[in-house]
Amino acid sequence: MADEGGVTILEYFSEDEGYKCGYCKGSASSHSNGMWAHAMTVKDYQDLIDRGWRRSGLYVYKPTMKRTCCPQYTIRCHPLDYKLSKSGKKVLKKMTKFLSKGEIPKGDAEPMDSHCEDAGSGDLSVPCTSEVTVNIETPLKTVSLEEGKQESLDKVETEPQSDAARKGELCQIHPPTEAKDSISSPKTVPKPGQGADPSKPPCRKAKEVRRERKLQKLLQQHTEAVDMSQQETSCAQPLALQHQIPQANQPKSIDEFISESLSTIAAHQLEVRLVRSSPPGSQFKDTFQESYLLYKKYQMVIHKDPPEKATESQFTRFLCQSPLKAEKLPDGPDSGYGSFHQQYWLDGKIIAVGVIDILPSCVSSVYLYYDPDYSFLSLGVYSALREIAFTTQLQKTATNLRYYYMGFYIHSCPKMKYKGQYHPSDLLCPETYVWVPIVKCVAKLDQSKYSRLNEDPNADDEKRLDDLSSVLVLYKGTVMPYTIYRRKQKKANDEAVVRQYANLVGRTCAERMLLYRS
């Protein structure tokens, strides 16, 4: 059962009684299910987010879509087919002018400038008070359905997330409640706006043609290829992205726009570094304090948090700790899979950090924080475009890594609809868990904030699990089917909870992950 990435060990919490919504501010109107992850493989997390789950630190949660006040639909973008909008081009050109000439633009932020401000917003107040002893360093045993047949399992290899976990002591199971307030929705609402109409051909202006010719001349001067490797030793994503000379009558790509800002004599130098956050690499440790102070400044200025809320421990729990196992496979990206921080260094100092997970099929954006002094650069949009471009680079070596997950799309919340402006993108059907192009979902969501998005009325959840005998549980250091656990624990009255867990995570995960039982 154990594989190269180890195993996933979870404790599941049934639906909460409701709490204040971070979007509509409704009282006790937001509902979700949650799990505390002691360890998790990237493969399992990929399967979970493809069923509507999302992590915040070590806590993994899934909105109860039919009950919650603001249904949150998982959204993914197609970077390989991404169509750059006018608004996106404006942001990239603004950054180019700032880097090359030092020009500081005037005016408001762009309409897509709330990048991943929703990470875990309001979803961390589920009461989890039980204490669980899970020593993830101890080899596990397994009991088959025949009971009595035991075999050793591979050692669960995972990096400890705290001193208590490292020593195998009690792990307090409770979500970081301080993160709830610090990651609520932004105080300022971006102005609504629309990007380019993807159904219409781009308009070619004489000014753009002249810029394209200028770019061609600049590209001819670059004789050395750009090294885009993501080795742990350097873990840097250079500003120069691999690109091709644009052909006639073809719009420029994100890579080409970014390449325009390349110059050794520019007014400012920008570098994007990829550092592994869990387990923390040397570069992450060396820059931890600077990164934390930036986060604290961001929370206090943008979200109006008092200093005592934006603590170092809260920052660590929310954005540094991760249950994901660091994995590196021959056919995967050079950086490996797992949890990372993308640090944006401007003239030798960090001005923004994008928290991301690199998974088998996608780059999943977790959160973004930045220096409010540089809000004029629309860093929310810029970082999202850089992450889209980063995904296309990873796909060149990891062919299955083709998507960019932007978290949740909330159609009923005006300030969260900006994610729908990244084309093309899909929404996850909350009932059948298939992806539906967002252009086919808008009309339904206009009529009802909750909708079954799948257009096939006869379709069902193909990974629904009805037979609990195949659900794996971890009980007293031994892995066994749930039916064996029930024989051992005759007084256990948790069948309804286990069935709910199995249906929410799906058959594939229920038969592979370990559900902790006390």
One-character DSSP codes across 273-296: EEEEEETB-HHHHHTHHHHHHHHH
User: What CA–CA distance (Å, rounded) separates 359 from 340?
Assistant: 11
Q: Is residue 490 part of a domain?
A: no
Q: Is residue 183 part of a domain?
A: no
The string over 222-235, giving b where at least 16 C-beta atoms fall within 10 Å of a residue's C-beta and e elsewhere, is: eeeeeebebebeeb
Q: Is residue 436 part of a domain?
A: yes
First to last CA, the chain: 21
pTM for the full model? 0.78
User: What CA–CA distance (Å, rounded) separates 96 from 90?
Assistant: 10
DSSP type of residue 312: H
Q: Is residue 489 part of a domain?
A: no
User: How confident is the model at residue 255, as a pLDDT?
Assistant: 87
How much is the CA Rg of the chain, to the nearest whole Å?
23
Q: Is residue 102 part of a domain?
A: yes
Q: Is residue 507 part of a domain?
A: no
Q: What are phi and psi for residue 196, nearest 5 degrees?
A: -65, 145
In the chain, the number of structural domains is 1
Write the CA distances from 28 to 67, 127, 504, integer angstroms: 11, 13, 22
CA atoms within 13 A on the CB side of 489: 16
CA angle, residues 217, 220, 226, in degrees to nearest 5: 125
The two tokens of residue 56 are 């915040």
- The answer to whether 77 and 392 have CB atoms below 8 angstroms apart is no
The two tokens of residue 352 are 């923004």
Q: Are strands 472-475 and 514-517 parallel, antiparallel or unpaired?
A: parallel
- The answer to whether 95 and 259 have CB atoms below 8 angstroms apart is no
Bridge partners of residue 276, in order along the sequence: 340
Q: Where are the alpha helices (DSSP H) in 139-184?
A: 163-167, 177-182
User: How confident is the model at residue 136, as a pLDDT?
Assistant: 60
pLDDT tens, residue order, the chain (518 aa): 334 458 999 999 886 678 888 888 888 889 999 999 999 999 999 999 999 999 999 999 999 999 999 999 999 999 999 999 999 999 999 999 999 999 998 765 555 544 444 443 333 444 344 456 566 666 677 777 665 445 444 444 444 444 433 333 333 333 333 333 333 333 444 445 555 555 555 555 565 556 556 555 544 544 343 344 344 434 444 444 444 455 556 778 888 888 876 666 889 999 999 999 999 999 999 999 999 999 999 999 999 999 999 999 999 999 999 999 999 999 999 999 999 999 999 999 999 999 999 999 999 999 999 999 999 999 999 999 999 999 999 999 999 999 999 999 999 988 888 899 999 999 999 999 999 999 999 999 999 999 999 999 999 999 999 899 999 999 999 999 999 999 988 888 899 999 999 999 999 999 999 999 98
Q: Is residue 365 part of a domain?
A: yes
Three-state secondary structure of 38-91: EEECHHHHHHHHCCCCEEECCEEEEECCCCCCCCCEEEEECHHHCECCHHHHHH
Range of the domain at 409: 12-142+254-462
User: How confident is the model at residue 144, as a pLDDT?
Assistant: 72
User: How confident is the model at residue 105, as a pLDDT?
Assistant: 85
Q: Is residue 213 part of a domain?
A: no
